[in-house]
Structure 1
Amino acid sequence: MPLSIPLLLRQFARALSGALLVLAALAAHAGEVQVAVASNFTAPMQKIAAMFEQDTGHKAQVAYGSTGRFYAQVKNGAPFDVLLAADNETPQRLMEDSLAVKGMAFTYAKGKLVLWSAKPGVVDESGSVLRNGRFDKLAIADPKLAPYGLAAMEVLSTLKIAQVVEPKLVRGENISQAYQFVATGNAQIGLVALSQVSLDGKITQGSAWVMPGGYYTAILQDAVLLNKGLGNPAALALMDYLRTDKVRALIRTYGYDN
């Protein structure tokens, strides 16, 4: 016998009420985590933050910048729960300074450096433009603040051209600013993060030469739980989430190893 409309409405109301209770319970347990993220990791972190909220209910409030700046900010009391650095030395220093939780650091990505021009045909597969000096400006991140800038200087030293190109260097505070110098044409070429100009293993714009690994010290990017995050379930959840197969696979699509 068909159910009456009033009975159907009552059943629907009970089902809706149950769903709302579940959502309310999830919301009650949802939290927020303040994350400082090295600027080279901007694109993947934007996707990870959205996935993290969808999968866990927790929200990640993210600030992007240079690792050196974040180190100084944390030392001065900045309220971050988690740091995703562009190196493994800064998290270690923070743990030694008793500003991060010892034993709560791990490598979430291994970065790669690339010589890049916003224009096709400027950079060939051997990066000859860097050696022949046929450019006006070379953009790098500030080596005093950004691990990618330090790696860039190592490349120039390896190629024995550091002194020759010094007058042509323009330094961004972080790798994002170095990228912008090239993207806007203020520098013809730049040593930037592969993640900024590639997706799924392909250069998405301009022309590029991926630096051979032996040209610079491996860029091991570590995440670390800061002291403020120790009592925050959302911070602990993010640290776990970054190590999931789902997230590791996403990170690799941006040209990182992990």
Structure 2
Amino acid sequence: MNVRARPFIPSAFAAVIGCFAFASAQADEVQVAVAANFTAPIQAIATDFEKDTGHKLIAAYGATGQFYTQIKNGAPFEVFLAADDSTPEKLEKDGDIVPGSRFTYAIGTLALWSAKDGYIDGTDKALTGNQFKHLSIANPKAAPYGLAATQVLAKLGLTDKVKDKIVEGQNITQAFQFVSTGNAELGFVALSQIYKDGKVSSGSAWIVPQAMHDPIRQDAVILKKGANNPAAKALAEYLKGPKATAIIQSYGYQL
């Protein structure tokens, strides 16, 4: 009788293989719609998230209002990190999210920024002096940071004075690009775009006091399409944890 020999696998090695197979089986991808202002933080968080959980985060970046339209039209997003709280609230009322999944992951800060060192002296003087040719803001109808910018202009009595100087980006990333490329001398951006580890990383800026505009509460939700995806739930929990919150704060957000 012929008997085929079975290869010997040491028990410890077999355990490693078993753990690897289990981890691979448990790893999932999560499709995330991310407000443009949160691009840098989520990229940093994604690295730790994948390392710590095995799940992979696949992000798309854009304006909150545009994402709302895409989600309502069936876009395949499973988690939504908005730049406001009103858009996730609308999705919640419409029954488009997993019940109880909405929470505030960050409170944003608006900044007036110039790519030139010393152009802004840390106050609103460069803005109220009105000696510039172009002022960049994000589309206030689609981007909460753009709406906040219009509220600041109104508070300073500048709405009519600067209306012909405004260049409008589709989202906060484009508003930032107008300034960084020199197409606008200054513009309203998210502090997170120019801030790292406690300081403005380039150019010059005025950090706008929170009292000058409505709070920029940024809410996250698990969308209906992510209801059965373990990676979606894992990401929502991870954003509340110490590693993620430390990264979020390092970019100038409040919690």
- Give the TM bin, normalised by the shorter chain: over 0.9
RMSD between aligned residues: 1.4
Q: Tell me which of 49, 56, 62 is aligned to 1:59.
A: 56
Q: Secondary structure at the match of 1:256?
A: coil
In structure 1, C-alpha distance between the alignment counterparts of 2:22 and 2:122, rounded to whole Å: 55
In structure 1, C-alpha distance between the alignment counterparts of 2:104 and 2:216, rounded to whole Å: 10
Q: Secondary structure at the match of 1:55?
A: helix
In structure 1, C-alpha distance between the alignment counterparts of 2:215 and 2:33, rounded to whole Å: 22
In structure 1, C-alpha distance between the alignment counterparts of 2:230 and 2:210, rounded to whole Å: 38
**Runs (4+) off by over 3 Å:** 10-17
1:131 corresponds to: 128
* Letter of the structure 2 residue corresponding to residue 246 of structure 1: K
1:201 corresponds to: 198
Q: Secondary structure at the match of 2:99?
A: strand
In structure 2, C-alpha distance between the alignment counterparts of 1:202 and 1:120, rounded to whole Å: 14
For structure 1, which runs of at least 5 residues remain unmatched after alignment?
1-9
User: Deviation at 1:94?
Assistant: 0.5
Q: Secondary structure at the match of 1:101?
A: coil
* Letter of the structure 2 residue corresponding to residue 48 of structure 1: I
1:94 corresponds to: 91
Q: Tell me which of 207, 219, 222 is aligned to 1:222.
A: 219
In structure 2, C-alpha distance between the alignment counterparts of 1:135 and 1:255, rounded to whole Å: 27
2:3 corresponds to: none
Per-residue CA deviations over 1:122-168 (Å, capped at 9, x if unaligned) read 11121201001111100000001000000000000000101100000
TM norm structure 1? 0.94
Indicate whether 1:29 and 2:26 are aligned. Answer: yes
User: Deviation at 1:11?
Assistant: 10
Q: Identity rate of aligned residues, in percent?
A: 53
Q: Tell me which of 44, 49, 53 is aligned to 1:47.
A: 44
**237-246 or 68-77, larger mean C-alpha shift:** 237-246
In structure 1, C-alpha distance between the alignment counterparts of 2:14 and 2:132, rounded to whole Å: 66
Q: Tell me which of 175, 188, 191 is aligned to 2:172.
A: 175
In structure 2, C-alpha distance between the alignment counterparts of 1:231 and 1:12, rounded to whole Å: 36
TM norm structure 2? 0.95
Q: Tell me which of 243, 249, 254 is aligned to 2:251.
A: 254
* Letter of the structure 2 residue corresponding to residue 236 of structure 1: K
1:152 corresponds to: 149
Q: Tell me which of 184, 190, 193 is aligned to 2:181.
A: 184
